[in-house]
Structure 1
Amino acid sequence: MKTWVEDLFIPLFLILLATFLSCSPNNNQESDSLVEELSEDEKRKIENALAGLDIADGLEVSLFASEPMLINPTNIDVDAKGRVWVCEAYNYRPRLNAGNDTLPEGDRIVILEDTDDDGQADQSTVFYQGNEINAALGIAVLGNKVIVSCSPNVWIFTDQNGDDKADKKELLFTGIGGEQHDHAVHAFVFGPDGKLYFNFGNEGKQIFDKQGNPVIDKVGQEVNSSGKPYRQGMIFRCNPDGSEFEVLAHNFRNNYEVAVDSYGGLWQSDNDDDGNKGVRINYVMEYGNYGYTDEMTGAGWRAKRTNMHAEIPKRHWHLNDPGVVPNLLQTGAGSPTGIIVYEGRLLPEKFWDQMIHTDAGPNVVRAYPVTRSGAGYQAEIVNILKGSRDAWFRPVDVCVAPDGSLIIADWYDPGVGGHQMGDQQKGRIYRVAPQGTSYKVPKLDLSTSEAAVNALQSPNHATRYLGWQQLKENGQSAESALESLLTNTNTRMKARAIWLLAIISEQPEKYIIQTLEDADEDIRVTGLRVARSTDPENLTRYLKKMIDDPSMHVKREIAIALRYLNDPKAADLWVALALQYKSGDRWFLEALGIAADPRPDIFFDAWTKRVGDQWNSKEGHDLIWRMRSKDAIPFLGKLIGSDSIDLEAKKRYFRALDFHNDPVKDKLLANLTETGAGNQAEIQRLILNHISSSALHKYNGLAATLDKSLPGVKGTSQYLEWVRKFDLEDQYQELENLMLASPNEEIGQEAARILREKKGMAYFQDLVESKDASRVTNALEALRHIHGEESWALKKYVVFDESRDIAIRRQAVKVLGSGWEEEDKLLKMMVADEVPEDLREAATATLMNAYKESVREKSLSFLKNPQQTEMKPISELVALSGEVGAGHKVFEKLCQSCHQVQGKGLDFGPDLTEIGSKLSKDGLYTSIIYPSAGISFGYEGYVLTLKDQSKDVGYIASRTETSIDLRKNGGITTTYQLEDVVAIEALENSLMIEGLTNAMNQQELVDLVSYLESLKKVESQTDD
């Protein structure tokens, strides 16, 4: 019987040949030609793995391992021996991938090793297998301990006897999100300070210790995403045993991994809501808010607010709000995953000390070289490895081997995201290195402190960890060896030594002071971080010494250090920093805000006393905009009322008022109307938007301002907001006009809801009794999204009223079955043959578009001449060619009612403008034919049950502590107060209609996929 090694011998020989042909970008034309001649099945074979990839100049890519040695790698680490540890995901979300097999024994952690030094793994060892690590998303190898992140748990496995098998398993943390959620806990990394860093996405929600108790952080806050004070995804730091837990930043969506550099700097990526081209890279300022949802209310980015950014990718992150740290870089659409800071020297110099990141969506591994920009950075994009000819290339993680080469994990699948897995058999591990560089792992030596210092300088995390631990164990006897690094020309090696010296020395201040006087600003930044960590008692002295440092990066770190400085001098130090702020440096402004937020009144008072009348400058305006002191409110009023400030700038200050809860706001806004300072129509509108509803009759002149402003906004959503907010009964006739003029538009639907709330169903009963047919028809349409027994009874009454025109009755049937409960009721009537014969066709058409798949399937039996379109299996469809133009027409006919492309279409489902950059042809077919197999996160359907027991269905576009915005078919958003919602039930199936292919023939489907495949991001980055 042949072994798997024999099975791989011929493919590996062919891989070597493919490497020779395709490792250099100079051979891309040859690769293009080669791939074009391959069938879809042939493209997926191991021997053609490299032909589909482009590699940057000076580098080559080789295949380190592939199926069947491993399958579906989700996350990797590389140990000090150069072995690759892999988390596999065969048992990935079996409920959502119902057609896939499962392993009863559970998923595996395997160790892949190259024992014969030929650059390819030839030995695979199962370290652990079990169902508690199904589809684990993180692994960190730290000596004989292995930390595995698999929501809702974080496990520590220990190999106690060195046989590469887990002998001990214990919990480190638990209670993190739901089982197997991609937006929950991710990988751990060991920092230069000896602490662990990790993160979770916005479904992590909370974190418990191993006993199941909520974790309380160092400042006394329970760690959860309730908004008190933290929201959404977060970054954490703790000791290896989980103690001294800190929340380092929050309000991310799905921050997949955090990378820590030798200075202690934090870098990560974050994924946007699907389809909004807002994937971002963040430089993380500690304690910062990163703006995925509204900081004060928790509202989603679609929620209306003053001063929203014009560009959706930036609006997505609330970048115009005070208190949001700016993004380093936005990269468009994608599914960002693993990230590192490359501190090796094997790769070309342009990659030294830069982030390297995998983005599985656009099939690419990138670097993001940074340059300083004020107190922060700016970055560019440089591609390293791209699946230009293989859309199944799904890089999900990148690590640095001990020799400085890159090791890249490839999930290898037709799709990515939406919890979908199209292939269970494949998975690859690649190595990227300069051309002609063989894989030679340096021998690990920890026998002396000098040898351990060499290990500390490794580009590989696992090696560095072992060197760090040995030096710490050696204690003060290691100081001399570590001091040799203080003259190293590579400041990152110098920084590594500084962290340890301050930990092991009896006099850490000696090293801290020396560091703070260094000529290199990164080292001075490191010194401040070391001081905070190891010598907090003397922190005030260090900060005072550095307050006039010329580096904006040093000033930024001083500000962050002031946040929790328990010293009466903190306010004076903050003022000294604030006086050095230059308008336009958003990084430094947010650092000042981060410092002041725990004590805003004290800091702001100290600043105003110091600056006096000099507050009225660009710098002063910025600080007033950012500060959360109640004493900043009158200053905001002065800025809003100033004749020298333009309208756009004033919107900025109005928005700043939303971040203050003091009731003095209402008085200030009312005074603006009374004094005439707010006499511009737009300013008046802004005042009405930001003042509370209770203020209308409390302050003189406010009602007059409202009456004066209403005519200018009639027919708009602004008008409806005021009618509801101020309960304007005299506007109900205008509401009726809006409802009947636009019953299927959001404004008409909102008008209908207000009228239903205020006037009841008797009002609608009168409408449908009208002799005006168009009035009745539009009233029925308005009832489409109004549910409950009374609404059902009224629509049913019209259906069975034989005195009415048949067209109106057919319209009534359509709206009768439009709703979560209503479609079941209409189906029941059809089965019982209660629907009149001349209305059954209309009823069937309604049921074929039902939410529930079971209803749609049953409705087929009511068709007089049912026609089932025969389609080839996906494996055969991918080989067919379509016509893009014809596919565009199919899209306009069947898809544009829910999706947008380049701004055209309805904004309901994900924007598909760049879908061809994310999904392969196989993935596109799967998404159309089986939409429930891969629901984009954020677009899951929910059924809301209201107090009156009516139900509504859609996806949750935004949720605050008091309300839910439900986005529904037709692009209509309905806001429900949480006090009116008694239950929220998640749907198992997609809101996208199953069986959409019944509405098209096979060629139309092929054309549609060809069109969608053409929707790709226009590459604008450097592609070396």
Structure 2
Amino acid sequence: MIDNSKCSTVMLHRILAGATAVLLIVMPIGKVPCACSDDFVPVNTQPHDESPLSPNEAIQQLTVPPGFEITLAAAEPEVQQPIAITYDDRGRLWVAESYSYNGSKFTDEPHDRILIFEDTTGNGVLDRRTVFCDGLTHLTGLEIGFGGVWITAPPHLSFIPDKNLDDVPDGDPIVHLDGWSLKAEHNSVNGLDWGPDGWLYGRHGIKQPSRVGRPGTPAEQRVELSCCIWRYHPIEHQFEVVADGTINPWGLDFDEHGEGFLTTSVVDHLWHLIPGAHYERWKDRGTHPDPYAYELMSATCDHLHWASGQFDKQSRVAAGNLDHGGGHSHCDAMIYLGGRWPSQYHGALMMSNIHGRRINCDRLLLDEIGYRGIHEKDFLVANDPWFRAVSMEYGPDGDVHLTDWSDNGECHDRDGVHRTSGRIYKISWGSPRRVSVDLQNASDERLVEYQTHHNEWFVRHARRILQERAAAGNDMSHADEMLRQMFQESDHSVVQLRAIWALHAINRFDESWLNELLINPNEHVRCWALRLILEKDTVSQSTLHEIESLAKRDRSGLVQLTLASSMQRIPVGKRWPTLLPVAERSDRWQSDNLQRMIWYALEPEVASDPAAALNRLDHVSSVIRRWIARRITEMPGDEFELIFDKLDRTHRSEIMADLLEGFNQSSAELKTLSSESIATIERLIRHPNADVRLVAVTTGASVGGERTIQEFRTLLHDSATGLETAQGILSGMVRRDVNGLQDDLKRLFTSGRLVVPALQAAATLKASSLVQSVLDRYPHFDDAEKSAAIDFLTSRKPNAKRLLDAIEQKTIPPSALSAEQARQVRAFNDVDLTKRLEKLWGSIRPSPEDRLTQIHQWEQKLTTVALEQTDLTRGRYLFKQHCGNCHRLFGEGETIGPDLTGSNRGSLHYLLSNVIDPSASVPIDFRLAVVLTLDGRVVTGILAGRSASGLTIKTARETVNLPDDEIESFDLLPQSMMPDGLLDPLSDREVRDLFAWLMQDAKIEKPSSK
């Protein structure tokens, strides 16, 4: 809430004629000074000997391309903690200061505020400063419009009115939406941007879900959302999720064709905003709220940013040098359309690379498979370890303001916050200049004329003001006439789009006019006509026919993608006629994302009428056929029998293989098939096509008759049987608990063949007789087999007791247990078992004080000299052994956790904090999942999927599907899957080798101090 004592203090600040800043306070007429505005003194919580360079020193460490100038526009104490910026219609810069941000979370301290800055001389220095309001908390974003300022400050999206534009709030904030999570820490709701469609767009991170709605909305009617892009209509008060996924989107902008692009961290950095999309969540390991979104959308970028260089996703090798990349943590997005900078920057997407202390630049390319972000030379590089760019915006002069949070840490650093620093830089092509503007006082005619301006800033602000005037009931007929004439007379698609968006903003065209645009020669115009047609609650049958015709004739990949996206707004039962023509041509575009978008719209149709879906298999791609079969299998009842009816009626082997594969992929409970369906499977096991035979084997092992099982048992012990076939057989036999399976597994243990899949199968069985067989064979196993054996021995409490017996008897060394396997034993919550484990292996969960002490001790040991005297070969081996099961580095390892190659590896404190104290900050979708089955098995890992019938858990080594009827309990713990005590089993030399490998090729940085 805003403090009752409101104020507006205008100051002339930082006239930088050298090293001295002159401060002159001028009290404007009619305003009363308020002591609260600048009396608050923020407290730094970092060590006292750590501080940033002075503003004048810091600016000297910034490098930009030739021809550009950087001006220190403002700095502390005039601005501190600048978390977001925007411009008003007079070209003044509004800044959100977030003092409540406290490292990885927000406090409730009501000191956040909004400032207004202005450059009155045109020299680039923001010499006039107004405190618009203070007393806020949790402030993360702001945007101007409709007679006030909109703010994201969880739990609210609020509007602070200033109808007369006198820079004094007219009253307390008006809450438009509530329910935003207060526990999301640095993954909070953030950022506000006006879209070309007249909606207000925002972002939300992954750590905690929110349940959002208008104040007073019942819980069951609220929108539940996690990592996503959302939008809110300022006039109609509608709220919806646009697309979900990634991990923590903290950047969004729209190109000149109105296509949105978002930036994020950890996962790939750039994503094309497609309404209705479900994006990958941390390498597809996150839990999606829709259990039937079987595959998630991939990123737009064709490269990754690494600390040691650019990473090409095709060749999977590092390339380039330190002029590229910088790290995988990104913030904000600005597509430059300011019209002043050289043409090479027109349409370039720029983003802050937090770990790399730089501004990355991607060029957006549209081809037949969609948009791609192609890496260009980094635009800005800062040789300042405290540089943390957060927001970028171009203004009416065509130049850019860039904020610097100025701290030596960010979301994962928990050593405090430096609240008394913050800078704003002006980046200009040539010398700065002042462009006087006041669009609120412009006529409707002038605002329409601005739709052809070379600077997109004028276009967007003028369009929003036209929308405001239309909403206020003004007569917009002349603006309507001018915009239609502009559309007709222009042969430039960008101008045509601007006319369309402005007409939509003032609500001056009907459905029939939009239908005519569906045959426009330009694909972007056709796409936007389609989107705007479906903005309405109801669509006529004649319009649906026009859309079907578009789907049949249009060869544009972008239009096909838009069609698939837009069908999610059409009622179920009416989507097939449009989706089928798109699906029939989807293979042509070689776009996995198009296949996924088709499925998101198609899935409700399959659930509504499975028989109709099976009758259309000839018209869809292989992957969609598999998803159709999987979805039908996961339906309640015996609808799955329709799949086997279809298998009997088709002669196409590829359709047979896809249907069986989809059936096998289902996470549903084991099905009881009719004798006719079993006969169909037994026939397909002998099918002449190898692909059909392979998937039929897995199906037959799960649901086939006794004769089939005997054939499989013979096949399992045939030395010529391949690993994939054996895995299918074992999976199916375990699933149906085949009699005699334990004897089969013992034979595999002693044969030396297929030992790892046999051990994985054994872990799912409550079979004490297998324990001794594994213990007897343990000395003869190789490293991979020994690790799988320990997994088996820690899967159940009786097995774990036998394992500890073996360690006491010194037949298995304590070091054979990894930290995660030790935690698996602790998950049984057996006091005696845990005591024995800690005596034999060591402590599993140190206290917070112990963690801090350990971090400090290792910081003293891992000096620069020590890290230079290491064995990198040994470090690489240790990484593969202790980290590679979950993390990838330099292209090696798994992707359950984030790719470490682009992380802040140059900071020893950052690495130690996250290795020693991994559970200090964990997204909800990546917390440790612990499942206890009815037969006593414990499975720990990441919750990778949840369906109507069961859970999918991703462990460090395998994916486990657990039906609901086999689960006794399920908990999501507030700790990371990454275990505590990772360094405890290692010697000092091994820790040095491991960290030397982790920090290899990274620029080693230490906090600067003064």
TM tier relative to shorter chain: 0.7 to 0.9
Using the alignment, how far apart are the partners of 1:753 and 1:945 within structure 2? 13
Using the alignment, how far apart are the partners of 1:809 and 1:762 within structure 2? 22
**Cα 1:163/1:172, change in 2 over 3 Å:** same
Of 54, 76, 88, the match for 1:79: 88
How far the C-alpha of 1:449 sits from its partner, in A, is 1.0
Residue 984, structure 1, aligned to residue 971, structure 2 = yes
Residue aligning to 2:304: 331
How far the C-alpha of 1:674 sits from its partner, in A, is 0.5
Residue 1014, structure 1, aligned to residue 1000, structure 2 = yes
Residue aligning to 1:819: 825
Residue 285, structure 1, aligned to residue 292, structure 2 = no
Of 707, 711, 723, the match for 1:704: 711
**Cα 1:384/1:719, change in 2 over 3 Å:** same
**1:10-409 correspondence runs (5 A):** 44-56=53-65, 58-93=67-102, 104-130=109-135, 133-134=137-138, 136-159=139-162, 162-166=165-169, 167-203=171-207, 205-213=209-217, 223-224=223-224, 233-240=227-234, 243-261=237-255, 263-271=257-265, 274=266, 278-292=267-281, 324=297, 327=300, 329-332=302-305, 334-374=328-368, 376-387=370-381, 389-409=383-403
**Cα 1:349/1:56, change in 2 over 3 Å:** same
**Cα 1:504/1:821, change in 2 over 3 Å:** closer
Residue aligning to 1:21: none
**Cα 1:762/1:376, change in 2 over 3 Å:** closer
- Aligned residue for 1:49, secondary structure, equals helix
Q: Is contact 2:928–2:974 with CA below 8 Å preserved after alignment?
A: yes
Residue 897, structure 1, aligned to residue 905, structure 2 = no
How far the C-alpha of 1:727 sits from its partner, in A, is 1.0
Residue 470, structure 1, aligned to residue 469, structure 2 = yes
Amino acid at match of 2:272: Y
**Cα 1:627/1:397, change in 2 over 3 Å:** farther
Residue 499, structure 1, aligned to residue 501, structure 2 = yes
Using the alignment, how far apart are the partners of 1:728 and 1:541 within structure 2? 54
Amino acid at match of 1:704: E
- Aligned residue for 2:456, secondary structure, equals coil
Using the alignment, how far apart are the partners of 1:778 and 1:567 within structure 2? 49
Q: Is contact 2:132–2:167 with CA below 8 Å preserved after alignment?
A: yes
How far the C-alpha of 1:881 sits from its partner, in A, is 8.0
Using the alignment, how far apart are the partners of 1:236 and 1:749 within structure 2? 46
How far the C-alpha of 1:54 sits from its partner, in A, is 3.8
Q: Is contact 1:941–1:986 with CA below 8 Å preserved after alignment?
A: yes
After superposition, the C-alpha distances for 1:72-95 in whole angstroms (9 at most, x for unaligned) are 43333232333333344443356x
How far the C-alpha of 1:822 sits from its partner, in A, is 7.4
**1:643-682 correspondence runs (5 A):** 655=661, 671=680, 673-675=682-684, 678-679=687-688
After superposition, the C-alpha distances for 1:467-505 in whole angstroms (9 at most, x for unaligned) are 442366442132244346434565334322223335647
Residue aligning to 1:429: 424
How far the C-alpha of 1:259 sits from its partner, in A, is 3.1
- Aligned residue for 2:764, secondary structure, equals helix
Q: Is contact 2:102–2:417 with CA below 8 Å preserved after alignment?
A: no
Q: Is contact 2:348–2:364 with CA below 8 Å preserved after alignment?
A: yes
Using the alignment, how far apart are the partners of 1:892 and 1:293 within structure 2? 25
Q: Is contact 2:229–2:243 with CA below 8 Å preserved after alignment?
A: yes
- Extract unaligned runs of 5+ from structure 2: 1-10, 23-48, 307-327, 633-639, 1004-1010
Using the alignment, how far apart are the partners of 1:77 and 1:972 within structure 2? 47
Residue aligning to 1:1020: none
**1:647-796 correspondence runs (5 A):** 655=661, 671=680, 673-675=682-684, 678-679=687-688, 683-690=692-699, 693=702, 695-697=703-705, 701=708, 704-705=711-712, 707-709=714-716, 711=718, 712=721, 718=728, 720-736=730-746, 750-755=760-765, 757=766, 759=767, 785-786=794-795, 788=797
After superposition, the C-alpha distances for 1:893-937 in whole angstroms (9 at most, x for unaligned) are 588413455479875984665146665455345445655555588
**Cα 1:887/1:436, change in 2 over 3 Å:** farther
**Cα 1:993/1:584, change in 2 over 3 Å:** same
Q: Is contact 2:282–2:898 with CA below 8 Å preserved after alignment?
A: no
Of 442, 445, 449, the match for 1:450: 445
Residue aligning to 1:35: none
- Aligned residue for 1:524, secondary structure, equals helix
Amino acid at match of 1:708: L
Residue aligning to 1:527: 529
Using the alignment, how far apart are the partners of 2:621 and 2:331 within structure 1? 40
Residue aligning to 2:27: none
Using the alignment, how far apart are the partners of 1:854 and 1:502 within structure 2? 56
- Extract unaligned runs of 5+ from structure 1: 15-39, 226-231, 306-316, 830-834, 836-841, 861-867, 1018-1024
How far the C-alpha of 1:450 sits from its partner, in A, is 1.9
TM-score by length of 2: 0.73
Using the alignment, how far apart are the partners of 1:366 and 1:813 within structure 2? 42
Using the alignment, how far apart are the partners of 1:105 and 1:172 within structure 2? 20
Using the alignment, how far apart are the partners of 2:824 and 2:284 within structure 1? 36
After superposition, the C-alpha distances for 1:987-1022 in whole angstroms (9 at most, x for unaligned) are 458845469499676x997876554333459xxxxx
Using the alignment, how far apart are the partners of 2:793 and 2:612 within structure 1? 58
Using the alignment, how far apart are the partners of 1:605 and 1:959 within structure 2? 25
Residue aligning to 2:41: none
Using the alignment, how far apart are the partners of 1:13 and 1:130 within structure 2? 28
**Cα 1:523/1:54, change in 2 over 3 Å:** same
**Cα 1:785/1:195, change in 2 over 3 Å:** same
Q: Is contact 1:406–1:431 with CA below 8 Å preserved after alignment?
A: yes
Using the alignment, how far apart are the partners of 2:186 and 2:498 within structure 1? 33
How far the C-alpha of 1:381 sits from its partner, in A, is 1.9
After superposition, the C-alpha distances for 1:398-425 in whole angstroms (9 at most, x for unaligned) are 3232222233333344444447575424
- Aligned residue for 1:387, secondary structure, equals strand
- Aligned residue for 1:402, secondary structure, equals coil
How far the C-alpha of 1:793 sits from its partner, in A, is 6.6
Using the alignment, how far apart are the partners of 2:996 and 2:375 within structure 1? 29
Amino acid at match of 1:459: E
**Cα 1:950/1:541, change in 2 over 3 Å:** closer
Using the alignment, how far apart are the partners of 1:765 and 1:1004 within structure 2? 33
Using the alignment, how far apart are the partners of 2:298 and 2:875 within structure 1? 42
Using the alignment, how far apart are the partners of 2:500 and 2:131 within structure 1? 38
Residue 883, structure 1, aligned to residue 884, structure 2 = no
Using the alignment, how far apart are the partners of 1:329 and 1:977 within structure 2? 38
Using the alignment, how far apart are the partners of 1:555 and 1:813 within structure 2? 52
**1:780-929 correspondence runs (5 A):** 785-786=794-795, 788=797, 819-820=825-826, 825=831, 844=839, 846-848=841-843, 850-853=844-847, 871=857, 882-883=867-868, 885-886=870-871, 889=874, 892=877, 896-899=881-884, 902=889, 910=897, 913-915=900-902, 920=907, 923-924=910-911, 926-927=913-914
**Cα 1:733/1:965, change in 2 over 3 Å:** same
